[in-house]
A and B are shown apart, each in its own frame.
Chain A
Amino acid sequence: MADRHYTKTHEWVTVDGKHATVGITDFAQAQLGDVVFLELPAAGRKLAARETFGVIESVKAASDLYAPVAGRITEVNEKLASKPELINSDPYGEGWILKLELAGGLPPDLIDESDYKKVTEAAAS
């Protein structure tokens, strides 16, 4: 299992060679509550790091989704259209959102699990 990297805006990314998988964190899904809708881009679109690529909507809030890394979208998780609850039940597995073909390396503002934990603890206090 590749290392999981995080953003301060609560996305995660795993990288395997040139291929990256993107989702939102367990903390993010817990804060949002039951996810009811996702507005996602089509495969093929090129994203810059930190670019807004979609919107996630729960009963409580609607939030923008940001690309943790730059790259071209190779696949969008089609299951989320009919089963947005996968984000809640399995945010790091079946609830993945995008697969990307990396353009360049990992941006320096990505953080590791222990630093991300500090971000969530600060947000929860």
Chain B
Amino acid sequence: MNYDIQKIRSYFPVLQQKIHNHPLIYFDNAASAQKPVQVLKAEEQLHNHFYGNIHRAAHFMADKATGEFEAVRTKIQHFIHAELREEIIFTKGTTESVNLVANSFGEKYIQEGDEIIVSEMEHHSNIVPWQLVAGRKNATIVQLPFTDSGELQLDVLEKRINAKTKIIAVAHVSNVLGTINQVEKIIKLAHSKNIPVFIDGAQAVQHLPVDVQQLDADFYAFSAHKMYGPNGVGVLYGKRKWLDKMPPYQGGGEMISEVSFQKTTFNEIPYKFEAGTPNITSVIAYGAAIDLMDETGLQNIGRWEQNLLNYATSKLKEIPGMKIYGEAPEKSSVISFTIKNIHPYDVGMLIDKMGIAVRTGHHCADPVMQHFNVPGTIRISFGMYNTTEEIDLFMEALKKVLAML
């Protein structure tokens, strides 16, 4: 495989540093990814040359910034193969994207007694916004369970869909189990009953090519910071037919067409959903992260990470008492595990002393922890810059930690 790992690593200066006198090994990519120089340079260039508020003024600076900002919208459109650029809405992150749909779609389409199907493996941010809207509307959340290997039970889904079901919310990839869910099948099944589907793609878009038209997703959300982009920016893709009909989420500048104290008319999509000055800097720098992924090729990144996943999984399985959570046949590069009855916090603390960043705890997915009846797990998750050599060092460190505990 033609994958120039040294070149890729050279884009991430953070990886060159030492933590507690050990070279940094960053295995917490599912929480947030590191930022390449391209992203930092894009921010710098904007501030040094053409920063201005967008969509408003006639001057050069504003015009240039607007052009760059809107160019990123088009980049995202192509990145996820959306039909229209207007279907790309910038938000603060996946969480805000979920809240936007839960509130705005919920306001118009969810009534008393209705049901919202949410999968058991969701991140809290794809559960709580739905619970809030269900609470306001006296609607019910219906759970879509998963099996012990970490696969959604589609036969159960079929039984739980009924005339009261208004929307289905499910992750493309689980942040704990790594399962790549069969969202295409779920969407097909839902659409056969005229039910729209919201996909949380926060753990998917950086690992595998996504085509929202092929999936036929009604809504698809993700965050820039997990895709080597800046913090504070996310995307909501929505089919025009829904976005046009949904009421605005927040009021303010930009989202209006005309305002008087008698009546305000709203702007067209996407602006209808982008009230106020957006995160101009981060959106523009996000474009550089998309460019890097496009240049490297998501297929190549995915293949590289699959290799890391397989390598690490087989190494971990050599450890006595190892339990891996999530063993679906289609998995992304996330491994959650526990060893005997050792508390994840102890492992996380000690391994940090050897310069290795892992995640420990419930990963904002309490229902997944409840499913397996564990207080938490240790999670390692890989990105485009990780290597098998790092996995070897991690294994050595893990064995040292286990000898201490």
A, B from the same assembly: no
Q: Which residues of B contact A (CB under 8 A)?
A: none
Q: Which residues of A contact B (CB under 8 A)?
A: none
